[in-house]
Structure 1
Amino acid sequence: MGSSGLARLQGLFAVYKPPGLKWLHLRETVELQLLKGLNAQQPPAPDQRVRFLLGPVEGSEEKKLTLRATNVPSLTTHRLVRGPAFTNLKIGVGHRLDVQASGVLVLAVGHGRSLLTDMYDAHLTKDYTVRGLLGKATDNFCEDGRLIEKTTYDHVTRERLDRILAVIQGSHQKALVIGAVYARDAAAAEEAGA
């Protein structure tokens, strides 16, 4: 495959990250597998070099030696001499997920890394599923943290929880609308000034 294989390796792709795995470890695993695939390709035939070797004169009974031009393979480009052709790849990460979080991790290779900024600036919709345990508090807000407080949760009802979630969702929607109006006004001001 060689450098042409590396040139074809461009773009964005999604990878599922399970809980308990660091995003950096996942990125390094993907990089390792891509490098293995690139380096597993059949190498090109070695270049031939002309070497002058000592040898007996052809057709002569005397033990006279002479120099003869001979084609031999050049071992400077052999895989066992120079090592693997590819040792690292530039892989970008669209966002980072916490160790305990699971979800889709967007990775980019080659020129696809420049698309990560465009994707981030597009403010694409994100969907989160939150799981919690009522009545317990830990020191690091995770289920594996040290328990620091335990209480009852009988007062928490579905209606109250829905009401609080609606307030949170409303504040986020209001911030989104205000941000869009601000961006529109800034673009109009920039056009008027230009």
Structure 2
Amino acid sequence: MTTPVLPGYDYGTAQVTPSPLSLADFELLKQAVLFGPDDERYLRMAGDVLADQIDDVLDVWYGFVGSHPHLVYYFTDGQGNLSRDYVAAVRRRFGQWILDTCRRPYDQAWLDYAHEIGLRHHRSKKNQTDHIVAVSHVHFRYMVAFIYPITATIKPFLAKKGHSAEEVEGMYQAWFKSVVMQVALWSAPYVLPGDF
């Protein structure tokens, strides 16, 4: 899979902190969300469907965030000053995340990058990637709460390419499972050692 050069997009590189989970642990997490080969197939299909709609999806998501000052807050210095460069850099990587969710193999590199994403929302690494001054931590409650809008808003996009209702539902369920699983992985920095 060819990916564009995006500042701060370190997928598969030595800059990425290894996940605290083993691949065996990851397999058990997949089982816990009922994620299997059919979901992998449906996610690849979703990747084809979404590839030329990334900006439209991001417009919906960023419109949602932008309409809630308590979410915009995480892109500011805490005093109400928004970093537009930070918003733009994160948006580009968020678009790549959509494609990675659908097209990357869920292997060690994927597992490690999921952990890296969690670190970049947590005080341990937030703001370091883009070298900006912004609030130092995304509260975990919003990481979990964001599962719903990121999932509920994707279905209309999945239905835009003429797939059957069964295929759209398959893509949607696979996306939902992946998002839940990823948020679980992103939670590692927020959880006490030994509790994750």
User: 1 or 2, which has the higher helix percentage?
Assistant: 2
TM-score by length of 2: 0.23
Structure whose residues are more often strand by fraction: 1
Higher relative contact order (CA 8 A, sep 6+): 2
| TM-score (norm: length of structure 1) | 0.23
Larger radius of gyration: 1
